[in-house]
A and B are shown apart, each in its own frame.
Chain A
Amino acid sequence: MTWLAFRQQRLSLIVSAMILGPLLVISGLIWLWPATVPEALTETLAVDYAYVSVFMLMLPPLLGTFTGAPLFAREFEQGTFVFGVTQSVSIHRWVWTKVAVAAVPFLALLAVVGVTSAYARDGLPVRGFGFFSTPGFETHGVILGAYGFMAFGLAAALGIVLRNTVAAMALTVLLYVVIALVVGGMRSYDIDTRTVTVPFTEASENPAATAFAHAARSTGGVSFLDEEGREVTGRYYECGTACVMPTEVSISYTSMSSYFALQAQEALVYTAVGGAALAGGVIVLRRRLD
């Protein structure tokens, strides 16, 4: 059964590996052996980090949906479901082997890419995305794998229920966005954020610079305030003397221990949603056969 499942999933596994492999190699090198990475590549990644983040934000739903939706739906569409369940293997072995072979490699790879990219970000001169804010939170750490599992579980289950690959894909994307928005929206209530306001003189000399550097990587909020306490917008460091220079820096920060706890918490929620969807799909399949 493993051979059959692997043969059926061969293309999607290759595509996943082709997408995630380079990400894993680059982030792994930046994290573990930064000296081996060409400076030009590091600079490019840092400058275009917004694009990289958006790309990584879309990876779990895309890979999960494209792997999960056809897993069972195509069997129904092409009638091969009957072939699978009228051989010597039990229906449960047929279902779970397909799930394991299709899901485990790409989800494991996705989670590893999430972890390595989180560590690799320390090696990039990146500013702008805090660890807790979107897309920083969703694109780094093990949660990347959890997002992928949720999309995969929903897509596979909907494939069983709807018996139509395209419909299962469309509904999966819709449900995924709704669930991610709801759970992500609740995140701010769980974060114990502290704010400090320190004088801003010269970024290179002021202690705020250190705090800023830390905060930019670990929190969602850094504001630069003028003499009257109003927020200075825009990229102040590019303005030169023509801009209103900030007098104070207001920094919101949260400890990294909260970050890992929150990642684990949300990863559990998404894993539970994916697992429940899969279990529900199998129950529907069993009932359909009764």
Chain B
Amino acid sequence: MKFIRSVADVFGYSPFKAIHQHSEYCEIAIDLLVDQFEAFIRGDKEEIIKLEKEIDELEHEADKIKAEIRTNVTKSLRLPVDRHDLLSFLTFQDQIINYAEHVCHMFTYRETKNIQPAIEKKFRQLLYKLNDIICKYEELIDHVAGLIATSFSKREITDVLEHVNTIEHAEHECDTVQIELHKLLLNSNLDPMDVILLRNILIHLGEVANSTARAADAFRTMILGR
């Protein structure tokens, strides 16, 4: 609209909504991975490929958000957190969905039959743990609104710190399941090719958990580094 003099220009681009949106995509991607795993166990090829596309698409969207934030968070902005802390935190959060995307392709590499129930069960357990972590992570990111509303009150910061602890704890549990699963896989009588594939998947799922914990840690650094 022309013929308007506006003070609104002083309000800069705020990256926090976009960060929240990005983290939601991470959560949805993990949700879909769980579904894809079930399809993999059933041998439902169509469903596997459909979910692969969906996750791939999500990762692409998340990349766009990341690019938007990186382009708009310029030096002239003054944010309540350090700009570099924010951008490196974003890199870690982006790793979550990147690893999820790697896994979604792996499920399409090879049809695997006769997975022992014990392995299947452990895998499911690992995925549920991942889901748990990412839900907790999502709750952590929800704190941003509260942090900004109270302008980083001590109470709110304490809540965040506690929340990061629970995520780190959950990641540790994930590690334990991973170790057990490794032992099961490497001592099974599965086709070695299946073992290679499943182990690759397993390692990358571990990376999803690790990235989430790293992102949570970077989030803490960002909040405390004001």
Q: Do A and B come from one complex?
A: no
List the interface of chain A (C-beta within 8 A of B).
none
List the interface of chain B (C-beta within 8 A of A).
none
